[in-house]
Structures are given as structure tokens and as C-alpha cells.
Structure 1
Amino acid sequence: MEGRVSFHRLTEEIDLTLACCCELNTALGGGSPAPLVTGLGVDIRAGDLFPATFPDKGPELPLRGARNITGGPNSGQVLDIYDTAVGMLRIGPFTYEPLRGVDLWLDQSDDFILQHLSTTPAVEAPHFVHHIRVTLKFIQQHPFPAVTVFPDNRPHYYRRDEQTGCWVPVRF
């Protein structure tokens, strides 16, 4: 684990070229075009790329989703929440403006949410609408996360438990 950092933190220039878009990554069966590969893994020792799925989405998914939906601070920048050097995931602290109309969004049907909050409604994963609803509910319950989620202005840290593989909170 030591010595690995995200590409955007390296001082060396990395030229990463990957063509997994448009017709090169599109299946036309089933009525709607759909991506052939939606996740990618890298074997850093061999340098091989392979299709991958990630069933474990990590801790505090509604909080992390709220940052994305609300366009939180630095939303255009790469968000690197995992530090490989220490093996910990770091969330926040951050804030966002209260989302106007969150109650109206939560009153909509699943199909309405799918059609209006997805860029690819015909091929979304089955959990998409549920994830959006949970995130919107979180935003509704925490309109000011600096007060209710990060009252001490400290990040939330997590580490994988070696025995169970589950994310566990870490306090400093």
C-alpha cells in the first residue's frame, strides 16, 4: 500500500489514455444502448485493466451523495477521500447550501426521479432511484451539515476492519 498516490497528486506527468466510450463501449441489445463496461479495475503490479464491479460503496454514502448533488465546495475538482499511505478514508468536513425544493423532489415518483435526475435513465443501475431518495432525505434532514454533521469541523475517518472487511469509524 505504501508509496501509491492518486494521479492528481503525482509530481510526474501521467499520460493516461483510455477509449471506453461511444460505440467502443456500447451494447445495442435489449432495446436501448447500454455500456459494456461500467467499472474498471487496475492490477497495478501487472498493469492490466479489467471490468470490475464495486458492491461496497463505502461509508456515509448519503453524505457523500449530498456533496455531489448540491455541488458542494470544489465540486469540479477530483475528490480523493482514500489515503493509501495510512489506509484510511476521510470524509469532509464540508458544507452546502440548503437544497430548495427537496420536499418536492421527494414527493415525485420513482420514474420521474429516474427521468429527471439521471443522465442515462434507460440504463441506470437498479439502486439508482433508491440512492437518490436516500441522499435527498439526508439533505432534507441536514440542510446545514456544518452544524449537524461536522459540528466540530473535523473530518470523519474510516478504516477497513481486517477481520470483517467492514468500514469502521476511527477517532483521533
Structure 2
Amino acid sequence: MTITIASQSLSQLPETVAEIYQQFPSLETEALKLVQTPLRIIDKPEGVLYVTQKEYAVLKNDDENLSMIGTDDATTCHIVVLVNRKESSVCVAHIDSTDDLDEELTRMVLDVMGQQHAESDFYLELSIMGGYRDEMHKSEMLTLDLLQFYNDLPVNFQLKSLCVNSVNTRTSNGINWPIIYGVAVDLQSDFIISPAKFNLNVRGPCLSLRSSRFLSSQCSLQRVYHTGEGIFRINPFSYRYHSQMVDWIHKSDDFILNNFSTSPAVEPEHFPQEMKQVFQFVVHNPFPLASVFKFNKSVKYVPSPQGQWLKL
């Protein structure tokens, strides 16, 4: 099995993203179209499923309460979209690394595949977006790692979009910035992918808890929702509590950016405040297995037609 691009097999992965665009110019053309597409502002929670960093979710187009899925705030992180046309389902993931993630990434593919398809013509549509020409080349390494992983899986993929690196970079005052930070996939429009910005009020339940995963050594890539189950699930995890967090809450935005971001110069403007909310949450819940995940049980929510998440 392998990745195909415009009916050509990616038999050997090039060593740089530039070489990929050179070998498959249609990928660059499509990526340029995407970055030039008007930004969608998602400001109403009705029908919206948001995944944050280290999360993925699977939606089917017959979900009664949800009709859009997406993510935001990706700088060096990547957004992966997998579409299964046979089952009318889509998976969106917000990935910050592939290190030791083979099992989780494989499970994500199986989740969107649903029933095993033995047909020779079965494939998943693959789109990878996010990342930019950062100084440390973290984005490019992640792009190549993801492509290598999918190319090695015994599943057919059609790479529909690769909007990364130079194509997703703009320069201002001598600093490289991502163009696309987030995307939305509309289930009612044939899984069209659009650049998107999700306001904080539409990002789903317990955002501070979910965002605190970056403090945990246990968390990798978690599935938070699948239409087949209909439940938003936050599985138990613990994190490292630092006594300095009380002080971090009152630190300057520059301190937060320089100490807790992989790309401090280009983070969204709400990043410092969001991080402080995470620290505030952790200060009040230093032992989440006792205060949040009581009896080692997941925290669960169900969506309502009005866009609310109701705790079970």
C-alpha cells in the first residue's frame, strides 16, 4: 500500500517538502488555492465539534447534533484530515509530534475506516495542513514524519492536500508566520476544507482540562468523539504540578510565550491568557485523578442541538 498523488504513487518519499512540491506541482497549486481561500470565523457553537492539540475525532455526516469539525492554533503542529467516502465519515486530528505514536496514529486510521474494506479500490483521502518555515525546521520534520508513517501503512491513501512549509508561510518584519492556523470541515458541503478561526466560546467542554495534557507524560493522541458513540470523552490522565504555577498565572505575556511555546513570535494573541487559564485550572486541581477523574472514570459529555455540551 502507498500514498498516491494525482494517480501517481509516492514510491519513495523525497527528503524535503520542496522536492515533494517539485515532483507533484499539483499539490502546490491546490495548497495555494487553500491559503487564498477566505477565512471562516466560527463564532456560534451550534453543530460544531472542536479538537485541540493532542486530540482527534471522527464524525459521520448523519450525526444528529454535529455538522462541522475543526481545529485551530496550529503553528508548528499539523492538522490531519482523513475522509472515508464509503462511510461518509471524516477524522480531524491536531498533531504535535509522531514520536512513539505509531499505535495511536494507526488506531486513528482504523477509527475512520470503520468496517474493514477489502475492496481493492478502497482508499482514504488524506490532507495535511499547518506548519510553516520555522527557524528550527520542526514543521518540515513533522510533515515528512507523517508522510512516511502513512506511506508505510497497509492502507491506500490519496493525498488530496499538502498545505505546509513554504506555501503556508508569510513574512512580516523579517519573521515567518503561518498563514493557516486552523481549518473547518463542513459535513454538509461534501467535506470541503476551509481555513478557519474558532472563537473560544465554540471550543467545546473543559478546554482548560484538555489543554493541560501538555503537562502530562502519559498523553499522546486521544480520540475525544466518534459519531458511533455520540459521547465526548476525556479519558483519565495525570500531569506534573509545579508550585511555580501560582506565580506563572501573574507573569507577563512575554514570559508565557517564551517559556511555553514552540513558536513564541507567531502564537495567536489569546495564547498567553489561555495558558494562564490552564495554570489556574491545574492549581485548583493539582491531583486530577482525585478531583476530576474520580474512581479513574472518564469525563463525558453529549452534544445538544443548541451547541451545548451536557455532562453525563
- TM-score when normalising by structure 2: 0.48
Among 282, 293, 297, which residue is 1:139 paired with?
282
Query: 2:257 touches 2:272 (CA, 8 Å); kept in 1?
Result: yes
Q: Which residue of 2 aligns with 1:167?
A: 309
Q: Residues 140-155 of structure 1: matches in 2 within 5 Å?
A: 140-155=283-298
Among 40, 43, 46, which residue is 2:190 paired with?
46
SS in structure 2 of the partner of residue 138 of structure 1: helix
The structural deviation recorded for 1:63 is 0.7
Give the gaps of 5 or more residues in structure 2: 1-59, 63-86, 92-107, 118-154
Q: Structure 1 pair 28/48, CA: closer, same or farther in 2 (3 Å)?
A: same
Q: Between Structure 1 and Structure 2, which shows a larger proportion of strand residues?
A: 2
SS in structure 2 of the partner of residue 28 of structure 1: strand
The structural deviation recorded for 1:14 is 4.9
Q: How many residues align?
A: 166
SS in structure 1 of the partner of residue 223 of structure 2: coil
- Deviations along 1:5-58, whole A, 9 cap, x unmatched? 744323562536442222110112455322111112335663532212222111
- Deviations along 1:107-141, whole A, 9 cap, x unmatched? 42121111221122222112111110010111122
Query: 1:5 touches 1:84 (CA, 8 Å); kept in 2?
Result: no
The letter for the 1-side match of 2:309 is W
Taking the aligned partners of 1:105 and 1:113, their CA distance within structure 2 comes to 8
Q: Which residue of 1 aligns with 2:245?
A: 102
The letter for the 1-side match of 2:194 is F
Taking the aligned partners of 1:65 and 1:99, their CA distance within structure 2 comes to 16
- TM-score when normalising by structure 1: 0.81
Query: 2:216 touches 2:237 (CA, 8 Å); kept in 1?
Result: no
The letter for the 2-side match of 1:58 is G
Query: 1:72 touches 1:94 (CA, 8 Å); kept in 2?
Result: no
Q: Structure 1 pair 63/16, CA: closer, same or farther in 2 (3 Å)?
A: farther
The letter for the 1-side match of 2:268 is A
Taking the aligned partners of 2:301 and 2:206, their CA distance within structure 1 comes to 10
Give the gaps of 5 or more residues in structure 1: none
Taking the aligned partners of 1:98 and 1:131, their CA distance within structure 2 comes to 17
Q: Which residue of 2 aligns with 1:64?
A: 210
